[in-house]
Amino acid sequence: MEVIQSVAEIDPGEIQRISKDFEERSPQELVRWGIEHFRDGITLACSFGAEDVALVDMIAHIDRSVPIFYLDTDYLFKETFEVRDRIVEKYGVRVVGVKPLVTIEEQSAQHGRDLYGRQPDLCCKIRKVEPLRRHLGGFQAWVTGIRRDQAPTRANAGLVEWDKLFNLVKLNPLARFTSADVAPLTREHDYGLGIAVNQVCFLEFGLVMPRELSERSLRAHARALGEPDLYEQFCERFEP
């Protein structure tokens, strides 16, 4: 099995062919392919939602040494950390929190309080985009839980694609799946799942946190607010 040591060895023109080949194969096969080809150069982005936990389960059954990371914006709910701890206890995987370079207090001193409400894009850049870019700089590939039906901008997501923004290979093993397809993958696990959302993102989109943080409840809540597209906007901002 050829192991890719650096992005210089990757032929972007070959990625589309590989992605097409996996359209008829299982997510587990794609995860195994990624781990075998990139070895120490691959990581999983985890927001502790159903898709990501399904991927953690797949990875743990193949190679639990694969690093798993989440973006710790300093605004995460305590329930998010509880889910994290249950996952670590069950699978024995390595989970790393990637934090911004500045604390909330330092950010407020530089840009004023409640930046997320006044300049949400800047807040997102500081607390999510920069940490993500910094972390991914040490890898040749990353795995995400995005699905094509989550938002219009993801409708054409490949199972394997070249990530131009972060300059590495991106694997989306569940891209073909719907939420109904994902449910059986996580039904046997009880982590208090839902979407382990970021408090800032809820505030930014004017959402009062529903009691049940499922995808269905988030969509319904957005419709109740008269903003049916809010879920897709939320999904775009929250997910890597």
Strand partners, 141: 42, 169
* Banded model confidence at residue 116, pLDDT cuts 50, 70, 90: confident
Looking at per-residue confidence, does 79 or 173 come out higher?
A: 173
Helix (H) or strand (E) holding 26, with range, is none
Residue-wise pLDDT tens digits, 134-161:
999 999 999 999 999 888 888 999 999 9
d(CA 18, CA 167) in angstroms, rounded, equals: 18
Q: Which residue has the higher pLDDT, 212 or 36?
A: 36
Strand 160-163 and strand 168-171: the pairing is antiparallel
Mean pLDDT computed over 20-30: 96
Give the residue ranges of DSSP H helices in 92-214.
Answer: 104-111, 115-118, 120-124, 130-136, 179-186, 199-204
User: CA-to-CA distance for 221 and 213, rounded, in angstroms?
Assistant: 10
Looking at the DSSP bridge assignments, the partners of residue 198 are 76
Measured CA to CA in angstroms, residue 59 lies from 81, 136, 187 at distances of: 20, 18, 17
Range from 60-64, 76-80, 196-200, 234-238 that averages highest in pLDDT: 60-64
* Residue 6, pLDDT score: 54
Kindly report the average pLDDT of the chain as a whole number. Answer: 80
So what CATH class is 11-193? alpha beta
The whole-number pLDDT of residue 217 equals 52
Do residues 175 and 148 make contact, with C-beta atoms less than 8 angstroms apart?
yes
Asked whether residue 237 carries a pLDDT value surpassing 60, the answer given is: no
Instruction: Look at residue 208 and tell me whether its pLDDT is greater than 50.
Output: no
Could you list the beta-strand ranges (E) of the chain. 42-45, 68-71, 95-98, 141-143, 160-163, 168-171
